[in-house]
Each structure stands twice: as structure tokens, then as C-alpha cells.
Structure 1
Amino acid sequence: MFSYSKPLFYPVQVEARDPAFGQILLEHYGGKDSEYSAATQYLNHRSNMNNRYLRDLLGMIAAEEMGHMEMIAVAINKLGGPPLSYVNSQGVPWNISYVDQSLDPIGMLQADVEAEVRARILYNHHYQMTNDPSLKKMISFLGNREDVHKYLFQKAQKLIQNGAPPEQFNELIMEYKMSLKTSERL
């Protein structure tokens, strides 16, 4: 299912070294609301999701979150930040309690929506903390992708609640793929 592609989802440029901001970005690498937490949660939810279209959607979004994590790693390194490990900006190690363990499809998707909302809030906060225009563009890109994921998870919830036929769930996959094409043009 997964494959590695060398190009990043979005080019990571840094105008000047800023080790302190690199330290702050560890929140997105190994913090509670990090890309790692999201990818791990979505892979777990994927494994417990009965609907094949939602399994595919969760897998694709998990893979994208790993790509976002790679972007954060590149940014931290370019900023001269600390060596990368699964810790937050305060040095607290990542732990499995950050991953929702729901088994109900609606509950899983609700936890995924909430994860995207928290990640977006964190990106918004960090956007305000830097004056680097290139980093602002990257952070804006990542925040916008969180919005897309949230929208798709919310739509999936509604489809389940309304007892939608399988082909309507397939539309989520098409919407996700179209959102990637739109992101490439930004």
C-alpha cells in the first residue's frame, strides 16, 4: 500500500536559521497533535474500519501525514533545530496514549476530525510565531491540508449516519485525489 517518493509534498525553504523555532516545530513531529500521532491513529483506525472505501481513505491520509512529518523534519533541520526524535518541544517523549483506540466507525472518524482540528490550531499558532515568509507558506499549506482531511472525515461520518450506498463512499476517494491536484497548483 505504501510507497516512498523522494519529492516532498511541498518545497521546504527557510530564509534564516532559527534553532528556537526548530525546537517549537517538534510539536508537529513528535508531540501529542503531531503528524506522527495522526498517521499512527489513522493507520490504527484503518485496520479496524469495515468499509473498504474508508479504509482506503484512512490509508491515503495516513501516508500523507507521514509526508507532512518529513516536511517538518526537513524544516527543523534547515532551521538548525535539535536532533529529531519522537518528542515534543519540551522534550516529552511521544506515547501511545496520543492515539485514539475507538472501534466504532463514527467514534473513530470523530476522533480523526478532532485530531485535524487540534493540528490546525497548532499550525495557526506557529504561523503567528514566525516572520519567515517561506515557513509561513509551508505552515499555511499544512494547515490547509488539515482542513481537507477534517472535511472528508466529517463527510464520511454523515454518509455512515445516512446509510449511504458504497458508491457514495467512493466519492470520498475521488474528492481526496482531487484535493491533492488542487494543492499541487498552490
Structure 2
Amino acid sequence: MFNFRKQLFYPIHVERQDPMFAKVLLEHYAGRNSELSSAIQYLNHRHNISNRYVRELLGLFAAEELGHMELIAVAITKLGGPPLKCVNSQGAPWVINYIDQNVDSITILQVNVQAETRASHLYQQHLELTSDPNMKRMINFLIGREEVHKRLLQRAQILIRETGSPEDFSELIYDYKMSLQVLE
């Protein structure tokens, strides 16, 4: 299911080192609303989804979130941040309590919509904490990807409620893959 590519989803450049902002980014690396939390939650949730298309979508999201985690790690390193550990910006270690344990399909999708919303909001807050135009572009890129995930999760939720056709569900996968075309 997973493939490793040396190439990042998005090029990471910094104008100058900024260890304080690097520390802020740790929240996105391994905080409650981090890329690590999202990836693990998607991996766990996908096994409780009976619809094969939605299960595939969650797997695709999990892989992308791991890619986002890599972007954050590279940015932290280039900004002169601390050695990477699975901790948040306050130095508290990542914990399994960050992961939702629901098993109902509709609830799983709703919880993930809320998680994507929180992640976008957190990125939005942190956007104001840097003057580096490169970091602002990276954060805006990540906000855009969170919004793609949120939109597709909302559509999946509607399709499950309305017992959508296989064609409707396969369109979710197609739309996700098309959203990646701009990244290549």
C-alpha cells in the first residue's frame, strides 16, 4: 500500500533559520492535531469501514498525511529546530489518546472532517507566526490539502447515508487523484 519516494510533495525552502518557528511546527509534527495523529487515525479507521472505496480513500489520506509529516520534519530541520522526536511544541510526547477510536462509518467520517478542520485552523493560526514567505506558502499548501480531504470526507459521508452507487464512490478516488495532479 505504501511507497516511499525521495521527492517531497512540496519543495521546502527557508529564507533564514528560525528555531522559534521550528518549535511551533512541532505541533504539526506530533501534537494532538498533527500529521502523525491524522495518519495513524486514518490507518486505524480504514479497517472499520466496509465500503471499499471509502476504505481506499482513507488509506490514500493516511499515506499523504505521512508525506505531510515529512514536509514538516524537513522544515523544522531547515529552520534550525531541535532534533526530531515525537513531541508537540511543548515537548510533551505523542500519545494514543490523540486518536479517535470510533467504529461506526458515519461517525468515523465526521470525526475525520472535524480533525481536518482543526488541523486547518491550527495551520491558519501558525501562518501568522512567521514572516518567511516560503513557510507561508508551505502552510497554505498544507491548508489546501486539508481542505481537499475535508471536502472528500463530507462527500463520502453523504454517499454512505444515501447509499450511493459504486460509480459515485469511485468518483471520490478519481477526484482525490486529480487533486494530486497539481502536485506533480
TM-score by length of 1: 0.97
Q: Please give the per-residue CA displacement for 1:1-41, whole angstroms capped at 9, x wherever unaligned.
A: 10101100000001000001101100000100000000000
Tell me whether 1:128 sits opposite 2:131 in the alignment.
no
What displacement does 1:111 show?
Answer: 0.6
Give the gaps of 5 or more residues in structure 2. Answer: none
Report the Cα distance in structure 1 between the residues aligned to 2:55 and 2:161, rounded to whole angstroms: 17
Secondary structure, in 3 states, of the residue corresponding to 1:129?
coil
Q: Please give the per-residue CA displacement for 1:136-186, whole angstroms capped at 9, x wherever unaligned.
A: 0000000100000000000000001111112211100000000011344xx
**What is the aligned-residue identity percentage?**
60
Report the Cα distance in structure 2 between the residues aligned to 1:87 and 1:116, rounded to whole angstroms: 20
Structure 1 segments of 4+ aligned residues over 4 angstroms from their partners: none
Report the Cα distance in structure 1 between the residues aligned to 2:170 and 2:92, rounded to whole angstroms: 40
The correspondence of residues 93-104 of structure 1 with structure 2, limited to 5 A, is 93-104=93-104
TM-score by length of 2: 0.98
Query: How many matched pairs?
Result: 184
1:46 is aligned to 46
The correspondence of residues 21-36 of structure 1 with structure 2, limited to 5 A, is 21-36=21-36
2:72 is aligned to 72
Secondary structure, in 3 states, of the residue corresponding to 1:25?
helix
Which amino acid letter does the alignment assign opposite residue 80 of structure 2?
G
Report the Cα distance in structure 1 between the residues aligned to 2:80 and 2:182, rounded to whole angstroms: 31
Secondary structure, in 3 states, of the residue corresponding to 2:50?
coil
Give the gaps of 5 or more residues in structure 1. Answer: none
Which amino acid letter does the alignment assign opposite residue 66 of structure 2?
M
Q: Please give the per-residue CA displacement for 1:69-114, whole angstroms capped at 9, x wherever unaligned.
A: 0000000000010111111000111111111111000000001101
The correspondence of residues 98-113 of structure 1 with structure 2, limited to 5 A, is 98-113=98-113
Q: CA RMSD in A?
A: 0.7
